[in-house]
């Protein structure tokens, strides 16, 4: 859990609608495309791209709130006004840019400190969810990383992630560049965990307003509940269709590539899984599935806690008056109830890192049964219902790019596998 101690002083700016970034110490069938397919290096694998997204996770030390509204533009909308916007978006004056949080740090609980054997024995009965995501929620990228290879995820959790490499840094820089096209950022401190979570929810509310006014938003955070687990994530891009008859937002995930190739099928599958999870969470929130009592209990939050004076003053000036975390949660629920269900067709966008040219925009249909099955399987691992599975034999090529390959029993070329094979041959010789 990030430390919630105060950071630097706020820096308010009287520009059209934008937010405040906090500082604190605390991803169509492609067979017809004329693009070659290849198996790529580790840094472009889906799990590591997921780790890239996690570096800007809103679970970290940064979130946002709106700044003072200028007289020339509307303030935040009520639920009834938002519903009207859904029906007649073209009639609304465009809002200006908003800001979202960005953080380049990895979670402290994934920082690679090795535990002693005794600690491991004491924790053998604890689930990974409780050990590593207690009071924080499970990230969408945690789930997609598990789908990539459960054993690799287990190693990551127990021993820490590898350092961010050049490819990941390039991808992160591109996401920041795309974000800056629609957002502006300033800084503000937060003092409590209630402040921290309030800002995360406000960030989503502001993004929803921008989607309805501008027809486009990026880096939209969401906090949802599925399979009795709190799940959090950041959607790369949401587009509102131009057609008046179809107002279902299109969810987009942007993948950057070092080479002008599309990824191998397991990586495509992983990217589709990620977008389907976002759609599932989106539609669940629109349907009203946000149990407030369980939210406060799970994250140990006080809904009556008064937010910092800076948050209260700034949101009031923006036409978004709140005093407590509970009031923010009410706005959050009302905002989602005013949004349409997302489109059934999702979009994966692949860009070339060196010039940002589009390699492909690949649409595909949501499969609710498939994503529910995949999610359930991944959560079995996280909740401790079973041990980690190795990647399927037909996908063992992944092991060639895994930093834990030499010590993973599932890798036929690992030190452990070779040692076992040598021992078996010796026994046969003696017999």
- Express each pLDDT in 171-206 by its tens digit: 666 656 666 667 666 566 789 999 999 989 988 998
pLDDT for 96: 29
Rounded alpha-carbon distances, angstroms, from residue 194 to 7, 295, 327: 15, 12, 12
Provide the 8-state DSSP code for 227.
T
How confident is the prediction for the chain on average, in pLDDT? Answer: 73
pLDDT for 237: 96
Cβ(192)–Cβ(308) below 8 Å: yes
Q: By C-alpha distance, which of 308, 334, 336, 301 is closest to 322? A: 308
pLDDT for 133: 93
Residue 93 reports pLDDT greater than 50: no
* DSSP letters spanning 346-362: EEEEEEETTT--EEEEE
Structure tokens at 246: 């179809």
Instruction: Calculate mean pLDDT across residues 90-114.
Output: 33
Rounded alpha-carbon distances, angstroms, from residue 87 to 83, 197, 244: 7, 30, 8
Contacts of 178 (CB under 8 A, 6+ apart): 218, 236, 237, 254
Instruction: Calculate mean pLDDT across residues 39-55.
Output: 42
Dump pLDDT digits (tens) for 54-88. 444 333 334 444 332 333 333 344 444 444 443 33
Q: By C-alpha distance, which of 13, 10, 11, 48 is closest to 401? A: 48
Instruction: Calculate mean pLDDT across residues 9-31.
Output: 36
Q: How confident is the model at residue 243 (pLDDT cuts 50, 70, 90)?
A: confident
pLDDT for 171: 60
Query: Quick one: three-class SS letters along 330-344?
Result: HHHHHHHHHCCCCCC
Cα dihedral across residues 194, 199, 204, 210: positive or negative? positive
Buried/exposed code over 210-220 (b: 16+ C-beta within 10 A; e: otherwise): bbbbbbebbbb
Instruction: Please name the residue that has the structure tokens 């406000």.
Output: 202
CA dist., res. 224 & res. 244, Å (int):
28
Domain ranges of the chain: 19-387, 390-431
pLDDT for 147: 97
Cβ(59)–Cβ(222) below 8 Å: no
Structure tokens at 71: 């007289």
Dump pLDDT digits (tens) for 114-139. 344 444 444 446 899 999 998 899 99
To the nearest 10°, the Cα dihedral for 248, 216, 24, 165?
A: 100
Q: State CA 151 to chain mean position distance.
A: 21
pLDDT for 354: 87
User: Of 419 and 254, which is predicted with more confidence?
Assistant: 254
Cβ(388)–Cβ(372) below 8 Å: no
pLDDT for 329: 97
Q: State CA 144 to chain mean position distance.
A: 10
């Amino acid at each position: 859990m990030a430390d919630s101690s105060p950071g630097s002083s706020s820096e308010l700016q009287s520009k059209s609608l934008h937010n405040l970034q906090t500082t604190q110490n605390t991803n169509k069938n492609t067979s017809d495309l004329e693009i070659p397919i290849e198996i790529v290096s580790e840094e472009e694998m889906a799990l590591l791209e997921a780790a890239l997204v996690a570096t800007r996770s809103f679970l970290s030390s940064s979130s946002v709130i709106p700044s003072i509204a200028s007289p020339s533009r509307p303030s935040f909308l009520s639920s009834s006004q938002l519903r009207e916007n859904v029906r007649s978006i073209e009639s609304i004056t465009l809002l200006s840019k908003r800001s979202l949080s960005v953080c380049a740090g990895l979670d402290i609980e994934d920082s690679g400190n090795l535990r002693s054997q005794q600690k491991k024995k004491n924790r053998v009965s604890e689930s990974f969810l409780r050990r590593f995501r207690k009071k924080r929620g499970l990230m969408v990228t945690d789930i997609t990383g598990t789908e990539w290879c459960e054993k690799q995820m287990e190693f990551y959790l127990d021993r820490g992630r590898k350092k961010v490499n050049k490819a990941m840094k390039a991808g992160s820089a591109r996401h920041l560049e795309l974000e800056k096209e629609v957002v502006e950022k300033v800084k503000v401190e937060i003092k409590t965990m209630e402040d921290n979570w309030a800002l995360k929810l406000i960030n989503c509310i502001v993004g929803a307003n921008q989607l309805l006014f501008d027809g486009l938003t990026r880096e939209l955070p969401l906090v949802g509940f599925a399979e009795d687990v709190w799940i959090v994530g950041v959607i790369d891009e949401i587009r509102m269709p131009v057609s008046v008859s179809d107002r279902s937002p299109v969810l987009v995930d942007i993948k950057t590539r070092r080479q002008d190739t599309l990824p191998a099928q397991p990586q495509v599958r992983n990217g589709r899984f990620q977008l389907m999870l976002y759609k599932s969470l989106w539609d669940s929130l629109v349907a009203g599935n946000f149990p407030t009592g369980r939210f406060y209990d799970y994250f140990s939050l006080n809904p009556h806690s008064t937010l910092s004076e800076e948050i209260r003053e700034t949101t009031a000036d923006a036409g978004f008056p709140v005093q407590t975390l509970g009031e923010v949660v009410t706005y959050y629920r009302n905002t989602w109830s005013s949004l349409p269900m997302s489109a059934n067709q999702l979009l994966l966008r692949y860009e070339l890192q060196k010039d940002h040219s589009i390699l492909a925009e690949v649409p595909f249909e949501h499969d609710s049964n498939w994503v529910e099955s995949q999610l359930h399987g991944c959560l079995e691992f996280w909740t401790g219902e079973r041990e980690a599975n190795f990647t399927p034999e037909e996908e063992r090529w992944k092991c060639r790019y895994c930093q834990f390959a030499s010590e993973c029993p599932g890798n036929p070329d690992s030190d452990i596998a070779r040692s076992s094979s040598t021992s078996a041959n010796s026994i046969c010789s003696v017999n």
